[in-house]
Amino acid sequence: MNHLLEVDNLHVQFDTPQGPASAVDGASFHISHGETLGLVGESGCGKTVTSLSILGLIPSPPGYIKADRILFKGRNLLNLSSEDVRKIRGREIAMIFQEPMTSLNPVLPIGRQVAEPLIAHKGISKAKAFKEAIKWLDYVKIPEARKRLYDYPHQLSGGMRQRIMIAMAMVCHPQLLIADEPTTALDVTIQAQILSLIAGLKEELNMSVLLITHDLGVVAQMADRVLVMYAGEIVEEADVMSLYDRPFHPYTEGLLRSMPILDKQIGDKLHRLTEISGIAPCTTGLTQGCKFADRCPFAFPLCSEKRPELLEVKDGQRARCWLRDYPEKRRHHD
């Protein structure tokens, strides 16, 4: 029981004009020391909300967090005062955001922004914080870090800004880094650089990473274990090899099949990508059965009547699907 982070039965709801919408619906997971956990799912399935609720950054109202517990290093974050949670943010749990273009303050020099967590948490002098900032800018491979301290964000490219964001997240040596789609806004070559930078930092500092993405390629490259989320629920959990080898949940299967495979050709024709039909469901109101039932190619009557539990299917791989109990229903039509 010495996981770094343990989340039990997390619910997050938002008030909307259409009534309460549940963005996260009973998510439980853990992250061990030095582990990279991938959190995958399509847009709007609750990935970002999950990470923000760990940091206590869900604005309330309209958002409400309910959970049995969110244990970080043995402390239940839900019982801490907002001031205590603030002290953990940036110092012990840090976060990198998706949009490096808008996540930096346009009117502050970057050195100041990188030094900010140090000044906020450790109360060290500005000069010392700047020295530390230079060290980290060097580390994330910003050329001529000392000169760059006084540059403004608009003078830097997207990749550089994401490095700045990483430096900002790292200055206080957090034990957990939450990377929310860190490479989505970047082009592929820069993406590879940023990912290897994160991987390197993680190794060197024995840090844990919660990697949120919708890019299965990124997950395959980075993660040890993967959670697949759909409509606010965790539908499958597996180590990365098993997930790609034998995905259990039809949603995971669908995600993997909708990925382009460059070297695979069927016959003479190019392999056509398969999409998952339908759209992600609206999360207001209650659904009785499995949330994926409407889009599932294998759905049978039970699926829309009763909600499946997240249960083990094989060697630690868990899935939330009735196919576990009724494997004969899985028929591939192709």
Partner 1 sequence: MKRFFGNLNFTLGFILSLFIVMMALTSLVWTPYDANSMDALHRLARPSLTHPLGTDQYGRDILSRVMVGAVNSIIVGLVTVGIGISLGVFLGLISAYFGKFVDEAIMRLSDLLFGFPAVLSAILITSILGPSIINAMLAIGIFYIPVFARLTRAVAMTIWEREFIEAARACGVNEIYITWRHVLPNILSPLLVQATIQFAVAILAEAALSYLGLGTQPPFASWGRMLNEAQTFMTLAPWMAVFPGVAIALAVLGFNLLGDGLRDTFDPKMVRKR
Phi, psi (deg, nearest 5) at residue 287: -110, 140
Residues found near partner 1 in the complex (CB under 8 A): 55, 57, 86-91, 94-95, 97, 99, 102-108, 116-117, 120-121, 165, 168-169
Residue with smaller CB distance to partner 1, 88 or 227: 88
Minimum distance between the CB of residue 16 and partner 1, rounded to whole angstroms? 18
Alpha-carbon dihedral sign for residues 257, 258, 262, 265? positive
Q: Are 114 and 164 in contact (CB under 8 A)?
A: yes
DSSP string, 25-38: EEEEEEE-TT-EEE
Shorter beta-carbon distance to partner 1: residue 99 or 224: 99
User: For helices 158-170 and 110-122, what crossing angle results, to 10°?
Assistant: 10
Q: What are phi and psi of 147, to 5 degrees?
A: -75, -35
Give how far Cα 25 sits from Cα of 150, 197, 309, Å.
Answer: 44, 33, 12
Question: Of the two residues 108 and 241, which places its CB atom closer to partner 1 in the complex?
Answer: 108
Nearest distance, CB of residue 99 and partner 1, angstroms: 6
Q: Least distance from C-beta 184 to partner 1, angstroms?
A: 13
Distances (CA, A) of 222 to 96, 194, 237: 16, 11, 16
CB of 167 to partner 1, least distance (A): 11
Q: How far is the CB of 206 from partner 1 (least distance, A)?
A: 21
CA distances for 226 relative to 56, 206, 263, 293, angstroms? 23, 19, 25, 22
**Least spacing, CB of residue 78 vs partner 1, in Å:** 18
The structure tokens listed for 185 are 């806004």
